[in-house]
Amino acid sequence: MTLTKSNVWLASYPKSGNTWMRIALITLRDGGATIDLGSMINNIGIFLAMRHRLDMALDIDSSDLAPEEVRLLRPKIYGLIDTQARKTTIWKIHDCWERTTDGDAMFPAEATAATIYLVRDPRDVAVSFAHHFEVDMDRAIELMADCNYRVATKIDSSHPHLPQHYSSWSRHVTSWLDQSHLNPLVIRYEDMLVDFADVLRQASATLKWDSTEVAIQRTVSATRFDHLREQERAGNFPEGLRGDRPFFRRGIAGSWRDTLSVAQIARIERDHGEVMCRLGYL
């Protein structure tokens, strides 16, 4: 199998703006036209860890494999996945960057066209994480500090996702920024809120798109949080959460200030202070 540089990794720790950026990239690619959220799952930003992609690429049932076997196979399928004739595919990723036990990079350079890494203040991540995964705040903070944190670890036919290693928030960041050698464009969630147009200019340049200023400004307008919330409330969002919990919740920076206790803030800053300082969060 020959790998081609056709994959763009849109990587982030969960709850760091990946979905918002995916929606914006779809909109920007289409010149700033308002997007139908119901179509996004088959558009830009396809989730790479969906189990059926491995099944289809290798013509197997991955539920018959051990998690380690699945892990070893993952880097080997990027040239085999059906991308519906797209020249370049942007993949949503929540895994940390690492190598498999046989030495393969999980996201090999020879299969990489570009990498965008989204990052968010871990204090805000904790608040959003607890809401999204329905865990209490202390448990969210504990998981974010766990270098062994993995999800979907049990392979069975009823689970749509492959096993993923999130690791800790800090290790996730440094794995992509320092260990991947993929030279990612680093985008802070907070900068998306302050000047989304400039962020989109940077993303467009990284993706080698010829986006016009008109398209960029239209994209900013079309992907405002109030618009996205309206579409979600209308039931037009395939990734919506169960019950009455909104996916597009607040869309602000600093919500941790009125949510976390002093002890919880101190725990996060102790666990992740070095990387937080590096990224301008402390």
Rounded CA-CA distance 246/100 in Å is 36
Strand 164-165 with 150-151, pairing: antiparallel
Strand 7-12 with 185-188, pairing: unpaired
Report, as an integer, the average pLDDT of 244-258. 69
Share above pLDDT 70 across residues of the chain, in percent, rounded to a whole number: 80
**DSSP letter assigned to residue 42:** G
Residue 42 resides in a domain = yes
Residue 202 resides in a domain = yes
The dihedral built from the CA positions of residue 142, 144, 141 and 240, taken in this order, carries a sign that is negative
Rounded CA-CA distance 256/253 in Å is 8
Q: Into how many domains does the chain fold?
A: 1
Q: What percentage of the chain's residues is helix, strand, coil (to nearest 5)?
A: 45, 10, 40
What is the model's pLDDT at position 44? 54
Asked if the model's pLDDT at residue 261 lies above 90, the reply is yes
Q: What is the pLDDT of residues 73-127, one digit of tens each?
A: 888 887 667 565 566 788 899 999 999 999 999 998 988 999 999 999 999 999 9
Range of the domain at 123: 7-278
Residue 25 resides in a domain = yes
Q: Would you say 37 and 23 are in contact if contact means Cβ atoms under 8 Å apart? A: yes
Any idea what the CATH number is for the domain that residue 225 is in? Answer: 3.40.50.300
Distances (CA, A) of 272 to 41, 267, 276: 33, 9, 6
Largest CA distance in the chain: 53
Rounded CA-CA distance 150/145 in Å is 12
Q: What is the pLDDT of residues 169-216, one digit of tens each?
A: 999 999 999 999 999 999 999 999 999 999 999 999 999 999 999 999
What is the model's pLDDT at position 68? 85
- Print the SS3 string covering 55-88: HHHHCCCHHHCCHHHHHHHHHHCCCCCCCCCCCC
What is the model's pLDDT at position 58? 78
How many Cα neighbours within 13 Å face the side chain of 10? 23
Q: Which residues on neighbouring strands pair with residue 161, listed in sequence order?
A: 50
Of 81, 90, 137, 146, the closest CA to residue 118 belongs to 90
What is the model's pLDDT at position 241? 47
Report, as an integer, the average pLDDT of 1-8. 66
Residue 1 resides in a domain = no
Report, as an integer, the average pLDDT of 47-62. 79
Binning pLDDT at 50, 70 and 90, where does residue 239 land?
A: low
Report, as an integer, the average pLDDT of 130-139. 89
Q: Three-state SS for 105? A: strand
